A and B are shown apart, each in its own frame.
Chain A
Amino acid sequence: MNGKILVYIDQFKGEALPVSWEALGAAGMLGAPAGGSVSVLVLGAESRRVAEQAFQFGIQQAYYCDDATLDDYRPDPYAAVVTAAARAGAYDVLLFPTTVRGREQAALSAVELGGGVMPDVTALEVSDGRLVATRPVYAGKLLAEVVCDAAPVVITTRVRAFKKPSADPALKGEPVRVEAAVPEGDIRIKVTGYRQAEAGVSLTDANVVVAGGRGVANNPALSPPAGLDEKAAEIWRGEQGFKLIDELAAVLGAAVGASRAAVDAGYIPYEHQVGQTGKIVSPDLYIALGISGAIQHQAGMRSSKVIVAINKDPDAPIFKLARFGVVGDIYQIVPPLTEEFRKRLEK
């Protein structure tokens, strides 16, 4: 490999998604030893600002395109700019963050450029001049070493798998504007509206996750308001249980997660689901409350650094993963736990 690397920085309204800088960290690891260079590409409204920020991480060049056709993310006009930039720079590695846009653009550019794509990698190394990527497969139950026999090698980096490079604010540079490649009249997708996601800490980026399972609905001290049928009453109980989780999460600055059982029971929306068919998280601290720990849930959180489990079933499989376990009812233990954290963290 020639060590020429292009990193796609995924951004929204002038803010880079954090995993974008982690992709830059992965690139720095690969480019420097090979005597290569690292450039970034940022697309969309306010991309110039993000391109300027990128220089503090010690990159060689930043390209951006803030053409109006890129104000809303649409795959084709974005891919046209990405592939044109990739061709112009003859990069042998394209790195994308594992985000919705990043994965999609990686897929499109690999097929357009005749390279190969290795999404969601957690480790990269150069062995005998060849890039070897490690990817979790089967929801992390196994690890695969993956190699690509064609250039460019297109990679997306998993959230929290690589370190964000250290920033030096003294490093500055002038970003280069590249042209959009598809005129508005030729773009068939029209964006007609937008809905902001609910506020709160992003689950995949979080340092701390507090997650609840089916067990959050078991508080016998609560009685649902009159007039609810059985299903509605259970959902009400579940929602009350998640209030406990929300309070602890707020004190810890944590994101709120949930097991599939809690999501399927209607206690909390799907976007909070952790597991094989939900989100994969890898926080420093994962607190599992009333979660038994089915294998599909473990797949989504087992790489967390410290796992704490509170469950009234001493045989719950979650305890096998836990650094600390408490056998007990969460509605008795979580309120004093939240208070204690509040006191200790204020100091």
Chain B
Amino acid sequence: MNIAVCVKQVPDSAAKVVAEDDRVSWGDAPLVLNPWDEYAVEAALQLQEAAGGEVTAVSVGGESAKEALKTALAMGCTQAILVSDPALAAADSQAIAHVLCAAIQKIGGVEAACFGRQAIDGDMGVTGAQTAHLLGWLMLGLVSKIEFKDGKLQVERSFEEGIQIAECPLPAALSVSKDIGEPRYPSFMGIRKAARAEIPTWDLAALGIEAPASVVRWPRISNPPVREIKTEMIEGGSPQEIAEKLVERILEEKVL
């Protein structure tokens, strides 16, 4: 069974991002593999250990996204593919889903596709389900545990009220939550392999598709209004005195 893991390159979570002229700027903060996608890679590798086959990491983005793919390779993915095309510069989630769908079909023999729960830049969290729908595959969102048994996937899915345990045949797409397990560290061999890897780039022509329509636009990105917070430090001679003062001040705020 071949597995695809769809990943994105994003600014590091510690980056100081600001809006400048309606666009996003993250200064010289590093670009990294989306943290949620590390869990998707982990899930794909767990599946591979159970079911065999190859794991292909796929990313849509610019040339720099090869660095995120190299992280996925270093973690243990078999190969990586970058999909890059100037026509995708303003692609929305649905357009990206069309592209991933075409890429997964071109890889061939893929029966499971893993996604992170969302990318930490756009915070959309819809691309996995949309790609699954376009592939005509089952979608299993927010999977916290995965097993492969008798040709079927057995998963646990997190909902607000609890965990649902379900099984389904392949092919299927899944997005994974943090509970899937800590992403493995790149091994020494993995890092060497990734450093030497030639990552092929596919454009839309290579995928055999036209630029898919993008209907969602982001005309303006701004900094959130600055909150004027006057911090009042509470002091006192004893913990008891501090506690009394603090409770008094909190009650005055009328939030309880």
Chain A interface (Cβ within 8 Å of chain B)? 12, 17, 72-76, 79, 99-101, 103-104, 106-108, 110-112, 115-120, 135-150, 188-197, 202, 207-208, 252, 270-271, 273, 276-278, 284-285, 294-296, 305-308, 319-328, 332-333, 335-337, 339-341, 344-345
The CA-CA distance from A202 to B139 in the complex, in Å, is 26
Interface residues of B in 112-151 (CB under 8 A from A): 120-130, 133-134, 138-142
A139 to chain B, nearest CB (A): 6
Give the contacts of B142-175 with A (CB-CB under 8 A): 142, 154, 156-169
Q: Shortest CB–CB separation between residue A287 and chain B, in angstroms? A: 8
Query: Which listed residue (A75, A137, A322) contacts B141, Cβ 8 A?
Result: A75
Contact call B218/A146, Cβ cutoff below 8 A = yes
Q: Is A138 touching B121 in the complex (CB atoms < 8 A)?
A: yes
Q: Are A107 and B129 in contact (CB under 8 A)?
A: yes
Set A75, A103, A111, A296: member contacting B97, Cβ < 8 A: A111
In the complex, the answer to whether B160 meets A12 with C-beta atoms within 8 Å is: yes
State how many angstroms separate the Cβ of A16 from the closest Cβ of chain B: 11
B256 within 8 A of A: yes
Residues of B within 8 A of A142 (CB): 17-19, 24, 221-224
Instruction: Judge whether A108 and B243 touch: CB under 8 Å.
Output: no
Question: Per-residue CB proximity of B167-190 to A under 8 Å, as 1/0?
Answer: 111000000001100000000000
User: Do B243 and A140 have beta carbons less than 8 Å apart?
Assistant: no
**With A145-B220, A308-B250 known to touch, is A326 a contact of B141 (CB < 8 Å)?**
no
Question: What B residues does A108 contact at CB under 8 A?
Answer: 129-130, 133, 139
A-B pairs with lowest CB-CB distance, top 7: A107-B126, A193-B165, A336-B243, A107-B129, A150-B215, A116-B215, A284-B255
Instruction: Tell me which residues across on chain B come within 8 A of A149, comparing CB atoms.
Output: 215-217
Whether B35 sits at the interface, judged by CB under 8 Å, is yes
Flag whether B31 is at the interface (Cβ < 8 A): no
One digit per residue, 1 when the CB lies within 8 angstroms of any chain A CB and 0 when it does not, for chain B 222-242 equals 111000011111110001101
Bound complex: CA A196 to CA B163 (Å):
6
A192 to B230, CA, bound (A): 53
Residues in chain B near residue A110, CB distance under 8 A: 94, 126, 130
Please name the residue on chain A nearest to B116 by beta carbon.
A277
Closest to B10 in A: A138
Say how far B219's CB is from chain A's closest CB, in angstroms.
Answer: 6
25 contacts between A and B (CB under 8 A): A12-B159, A107-B130, A108-B133, A110-B94, A111-B134, A112-B133, A117-B130, A119-B125, A120-B125, A138-B121, A139-B13, A142-B221, A189-B168, A190-B167, A195-B162, A277-B13, A295-B16, A319-B231, A324-B234, A325-B232, A326-B234, A327-B233, A336-B244, A337-B243, A339-B243
Give the residues in chain B near A322, CB-CB below 8 Å: 229, 231
Q: Chain A nearest CB: distance from B98 CB in Å?
A: 9
Chain A residues closer than 8 Å to B163, beta-carbon distance: 194-195, 197
Q: Which of B126, B158, B220 contacts A100 (CB 8 A)?
A: B158
| CB-CB contacts below 8 Å: B86-101 with A | 92-94, 97
Q: In this complex, which of A101, A107, A108, A307 has the most chain B Cβ atoms within 10 angstroms of its Cβ?
A: A107
Contact partners of A138 in chain B: CB under 8 A = 11, 17, 24, 120-121, 123
Interface size class of B (residues with CB under 8 A): 35 or more
User: Are A137 and B164 within 8 A (Cβ)?
Assistant: no
Note all chain B residues with C-beta closer than 8 A to A112: 133
Residues of B near A135 (CB, < 8 A) are 123
12 A-B pairs besides A142-B223, A202-B160 with CB distance below 8 A are A12-B161, A106-B126, A110-B130, A116-B92, A137-B123, A139-B123, A140-B224, A142-B24, A325-B231, A328-B239, A336-B244, A344-B251
Q: How far is the CB of B221 from chain A (nearest CB, A)?
A: 5
| Contact A208–B221 (Cβ < 8 Å) | no
CA distance A308 to B13 in the complex (A): 24
Q: Given A107-B129, A333-B239, does the pair A144, B218 have CB atoms closer than 8 Å?
A: yes
Asked if B246 is at the interface of the complex by the 8 Å CB criterion, the answer is: yes
A143 to B128, CA, bound (A): 23
Contacts of A148 in B (CB 8 A): 215-217
A192 and B153 alpha carbons, distance in the complex (Å) = 12
A75–B19 Cα gap in the complex (Å)? 36
Question: In whole angstroms, what is the CA distance A190 to B217 when docked?
Answer: 38
